Structure 1
């Protein structure tokens, strides 16, 4: 185990590179897709593509931290992360913001996720069951960009089965969570309960949260840059991210959106906790588990920075300022330790400067 001083020094160096080096690359890649969406395809799909980029840029920023993992070619991996995360965010908009609630359409659209992560399979026709179809090749271009970058990775064959497993779970979640309110919960619980026995100690909606994160896919893909990667290391990463680090990621995301989602009638996994105390305790539990799992990974300092960064990035959001959210936020930060609180202050500064 590395010492706290070593971890802190390595984390600060990584954070500096992240803001100085990676953020401009993310901006550059997103501008490519903005230009594409603006100039090709029908207005209906272009509007959703542009909206997903404009409102969810921070997803690409956060995921691109993996471009700084040891051995990774940073510009290439940023290109991959931005393309895959843009697929995710675009499809989320198509399922959530276009007034459509068709299970077949959602399932077909999300084949783009698994196609993007499997360079060996033929591409599907993603809009077959969707009412709008002409995107000018936008989704195909995103998919082929991901495949082109993954084909460069010497050990991708080792991580591919787990990457595709997580991508399939992600796609199933997105298919069910956007259905009509009358059927959504029953369909989701039926799906969740098929998998839950494999994950003792977590609640049904916490499993669903873990399936909603792309972070495990990014970490495994970054690890595949290592030509000496072992199956044991793949298993370590898989167990750390799913359900713990993935779950923490999405539970924090829903935690900060809880008030907004109640007003809009949107699904939120945090709603299913029986009380504020249970919500606080379970978030703290996932935070502890994620930090513990980070210590088992090959590059411990990097893994700890990722977990601490999740806490800092989400809890620094202004949506956590009103009570009673603030009380839980402060408790989470206090229980996480000194370094996450320092990162939280750093993220607050980035938000003030409109960098984050």
Structure 2
């Protein structure tokens, strides 16, 4: 097998994966984020500029983690990395805008997130995403992010097969962002009502765990990777969707909420880890979701790569400096890491190294 054929295959070992990440993924993610940061610096509106820059500066690891999927098809990384970085940057920017919003209008939140739906729907007319808020002048920043996604998608030969499954995840993501950012007194009731419509899809998950699953972009990124295969068909795309949603996606966001508990408490933000009776119940549920996620990815090709994604998720979040600052989180983290496979420990060490050298 020559180097070109080998690079089209998903890495099979943690060392193989991380060598690709260090050599190809991190430098190109850094270059893409640098480009978007320079663009964000030119945003005329002070608030929009502030939130755009903050999303890039404080959430770059979201793009770094998401772009790992490009390591499974290196010849297409010139398409996948700009696509994943642009899509994740939209997500992080809008999350900042909604979390620290000058508005509590659900119409505003839905209109902002229409950009995420438009980004994955290349044939749809663009909209005014700031139509329902006072801050409007972004100098075309959000539209350029949307168009970057569309341009990359136009080069994915298997996209039509993946498209309905990507739209499903993007639609659920949009619904979540609307419900979780409205007036604090209305959030839980809105989320429960929404869950009641979709509960049949994830009967083993509690409402907060389902909501967490809808907040992940990993399923979309995996489907972007799958769409780089010109022979992708509906059955394959459906299997990938089912392997990631809900359990891998739920694990991703529950870990994110786990480490953000203090931050969200201070900011008055909703946190899905606050809906367990105690730390023991939370640990039990997280452990179950890890096992369900492992079982799900065993059913799709390159299962070893996807198992590494799961172990990498645990390592990435449990290596976050915020863990050591919160006693409860530190306790849960230690127990999740107990009897950890060597893969997870390997990724933990690498995650800490990447965080320490994030600006290199």
- TM-score tier after normalising by the smaller chain length: over 0.9
Per the TM alignment, residue 335 of structure 1 is displaced from its structure 2 partner at its CA by: 4.8
Partner residue in 2 for 1:114:
117
How far apart, CA to CA, are the structure 1 residues paired with 2:57 and 2:299? 36
Q: Does the 8 Å contact 2:99/2:269 carry over to 1?
A: no
Per the TM alignment, residue 107 of structure 1 is displaced from its structure 2 partner at its CA by: 0.6
Partner residue in 1 for 2:24:
21
Per the TM alignment, residue 20 of structure 1 is displaced from its structure 2 partner at its CA by: 2.5
CA deviations on 1:256-311 (whole Å, 9 max, x unpaired) are 11122223322100100111111000110111111122222211122111111101
CA deviations on 1:303-328 (whole Å, 9 max, x unpaired) are 11111110110011122224332222
1:117-266 matched pairs, under 5 angstroms: 117-266=120-269
Change (3 A) 1:221 1:72: farther
Give the secondary-structure state (helix, strand or coil) at the position aligned to 2:327: coil
Partner residue in 2 for 1:338:
342
Per the TM alignment, residue 352 of structure 1 is displaced from its structure 2 partner at its CA by: 3.7
Per the TM alignment, residue 336 of structure 1 is displaced from its structure 2 partner at its CA by: 4.5
Per the TM alignment, residue 103 of structure 1 is displaced from its structure 2 partner at its CA by: 0.6
2:15 to 1, 8, 12: 12
Per the TM alignment, residue 348 of structure 1 is displaced from its structure 2 partner at its CA by: 2.5
Change (3 A) 1:295 1:336: farther
Partner residue in 1 for 2:7:
none
Q: Does the 8 Å contact 1:248/1:283 carry over to 2?
A: yes
Aligned length: 350
How far apart, CA to CA, are the structure 2 residues paired with 1:9 and 1:97? 41
Change (3 A) 1:292 1:212: same
- TM-score after normalising by structure 2: 0.93
Partner residue in 2 for 1:90:
93
Change (3 A) 1:93 1:117: same
How far apart, CA to CA, are the structure 1 residues paired with 2:338 and 2:295? 16
How far apart, CA to CA, are the structure 2 residues paired with 1:354 and 1:141? 26
CA RMSD between the two structures: 1.7
Change (3 A) 1:40 1:342: closer
Give the secondary-structure state (helix, strand or coil) at the position aligned to 1:110: helix
Q: Structure 1: give runs of 5+ residues left out of the alignment.
A: 1-6
How far apart, CA to CA, are the structure 2 residues paired with 1:129 and 1:8? 45
2:328 to 324, 327, 352: 324
Q: Does the 8 Å contact 1:284/1:335 carry over to 2?
A: no
Q: Does the 8 Å contact 1:294/1:307 carry over to 2?
A: no
How far apart, CA to CA, are the structure 2 residues paired with 1:332 and 1:31? 35
Change (3 A) 1:9 1:243: closer
Stretch moving more, 135-144 or 227-236: 227-236
How far apart, CA to CA, are the structure 1 residues paired with 2:317 and 2:105? 31
How far apart, CA to CA, are the structure 1 residues paired with 2:141 and 2:342? 44
Q: Structure 2: give runs of 5+ residues left out of the alignment.
A: 1-9
Per the TM alignment, residue 332 of structure 1 is displaced from its structure 2 partner at its CA by: 1.2
Stretch moving more, 287-296 or 53-62: 287-296
Per the TM alignment, residue 8 of structure 1 is displaced from its structure 2 partner at its CA by: 9.0
CA deviations on 1:48-83 (whole Å, 9 max, x unpaired) are 111111111111111101111236511221100111
